[in-house]
Structure 1
């Protein structure tokens, strides 16, 4: 199997990178070695300079002593006359009887350096020596003897690293020339002015310099290591950029192979002049049923129904530029079946030919789904109409059934008219059942808030919610262990959860995590004031959080607007979150959104915490109303229903106060507050509805 261009490039690039790193490493090693040696040479040179300075100091010190003919000092136990000094008046006695001896410059210099040696563990050693020495102390060692012989050959200075008493030293030696003042003590040896009388060696300890050198070399090693790492990192970064650039080139070269050969949708290239297929991908072969050779012997007219060929040719003749073209066409497969395909094409140069590259997306199923969607929308519209009709028709039926019951109650069991009343009631009940079916279809049932455990609702619908999301989305629930009883309609809360989960699913096209959590929290007056309704106190906070794309501030401000959506055309109605907002408002709750681009979205919904135990609500609802003489305030805008209700209640002994709308109901209640025992309010009324009136 031949290597792919990408693999060949990868191997070649790795080789170049390794060569660059190797070259950089060699450069760093050479630099480190050179600087290492320079550091050593510099420290040796420092020691050599110190030795030269001490040599100059010694010469000047001797010159001073020579100019003055030496120094007379008292004779002591530690300083006796120099037996090797043969000059007149070597020893003298002062007028007071004090004995003095002459210390010549050589002896003076030696004693000074001996004093220095005693005060230092690693002293600088100065030694005056000669091949023609008088004092055995001035006898040269082997190194000094070699140097003295070199001086006789004209060498001006000799230096080297050596060891003295197991310690490294830098030794330097220069010739000591005879001056006029020197003849006083050494004239008898036959020296003349300008003769090499000997030499002075200065030995400087190298240990302090080597210690300093070790520190400098450590710094060099660390700096070069860091520089090597930085350079290597730079090479890797540079190579990565090169790799990215080269990959772009390789990917550009392989785009045809990647998009064409590996595309799951049928693709082909045809000659614009002859309409003949030049190449096709495997998806085209598999989808249309023709072999590759069959395709290459055909033209694009061969896959179109005969009645569509003329429009096809007209469309092809308009292809004069490299602009993208798109459209939906009918194609015929090898088995004769017709399919609808969405065509996207672009003019290209294919081997010197002007050709068209085509991507064909089979939209047959999509068109069927669109038909189903249109049907669903039509049924939704029918449902809305049915709901409205059923609501009005239900009011009429209520009056018919009510008056039919009253009529039946007034008739004796043997009255022949009673059978007519029973027929009216039976037929009306059948009509009521039909009305209820219409209301169920249109989802227009009256909201029935009951004390419910919010956690229980979440756990009950968790399996359903998992079916709404994809496998690449993880659903987590983090529910509080406290009491989460709220006054709510379970159907609406379930609908709210499904809408939020669906919205979160669509916000995570590449998968992610969806978390539903609950917690008990207290809302203060400032929070409630900001929303303009509700009461401060304990609330159950329900949070639905996703790790999706998030949204910006402008989008966040409009997400609850009806028909506002950020989805593609046909992917959403824009009513999902608007419905959620309506449900939350209907439950006297609050909803808040936290989101930022790339940071996901969190919906926080606050439901007032109910003090009623949900387990006792059923028993509370089962209690029977007592009495038969209480006063009931009835508010109903439909005159027929209003009169029927008054008649039924009056029939059972109740005192009835009637109002035709919410405003009148509030006014009458204010006038009859003390004697009103029960309020019976229609939900929808003019001027003020039943909920607002209550």
Structure 2
């Protein structure tokens, strides 16, 4: 499962991923920590400012009304300061209730006591020139009052002092101190102390407990830390699963394969694997793969160059062999033609001698016994037929050899197709009548062809003669010819249809030299037909029809010059 950590690149990837995560998420998280803390303290400051404004408004209202009378509570004593300045500190109402007059300072102190009992917040009035010892400033308040005294009237409007303090081991408070500015309503009570309008008479010191807020802040921060750590774990897990499946597992397998191939095909290269475990490590597996690919490409190029050299040598050798073979074929054709010529010469003499003997026997017919005469004529006829057959065989062989050596000469003329078909039928008429064969001609009367007339006649005679041999008695042979277009080039196509048994072997085999379907003949008829058609640049083929075989050949007209 953890095979991927054998890859140096995988280790680097996850280190970089976590550094990326820490840089782009941890720093924002720290920022959020401080921002959250700042926002909370800003909210506390706004709360303290609100409390300050409420106190000031309340004091101003009481001062504007010259103080307020409230029902005396058992623990409340009359304000001695009011009696000193000639104010009525106590009064009896019509209902018989005792009313005590309270000034802004006393109301402020009593409200603070009420809030402190509920542990919401508390506050007090403080001054450097205090009358009531309760209003004596502590060290923080004294420091704030001294700073306020140094400010001008404009600066005092926005001045405040804040601090966070531990009032005991378990309680932390936020201190917010803001100056009290003397106005006209204050002079009634404080003019004797030498205050003028705009002077700093003292300050309101507000205490807001921070324990609940700090607990909430810690809870938020704890949640953020847990979310951060969970995100880090989830990110690593998801990236690990995806990268293992689609990147590192395939990469690990490729590296293993490369190492295996190196050990199999070049054991010396496997020394690299030993160095990989030392200080000579490659930076990552991609470099190893690239090095392996480069090595394989170099090996392939080496084998390719070697193969090209071998092919070049083999091609050169083949060219030499082909040249030798062509020379041998040429020599064979030359020798065969010469042999045919040398054989045909005595054959011609022999044929002439046989004809002379036959003529001589005819003249001496009366002096010879009838049985000797008939016997002699029979032998002479056999000898004559064999001489003619041997002469035809030699002629065909020479023609085939010339065609294969591309030495066959053509006498191109333009003639009507029907004209040559009629010559064929006249030649083959006797054989066809023996089997009552009928011919059906499907050829346009005006169809012309440019070709060697004698060669085309020989091809047609071979095909029609074969059709007669393989057709049943009273059969029909169909001869067709038409203009065709092959790859945009014009030509004339001939077809000979018979009603025989059809083809029983591969059509290509029929056109091989000395191949015979029946015992009689030399097996050269279709071979010489193919040679003549090929000499014209044409094509000959055979196929089975509905009833028998169909032999076709085409003669292109664009390649032939009359």
- Return the TM-score normalized by structure 2: 0.43
Work out which of the two has the higher radius of gyration on C-alpha atoms and give 1 or 2.
Answer: 2
Higher relative contact order (CA 8 A, sep 6+): 2
Higher strand share: 1
More helix by share: 2
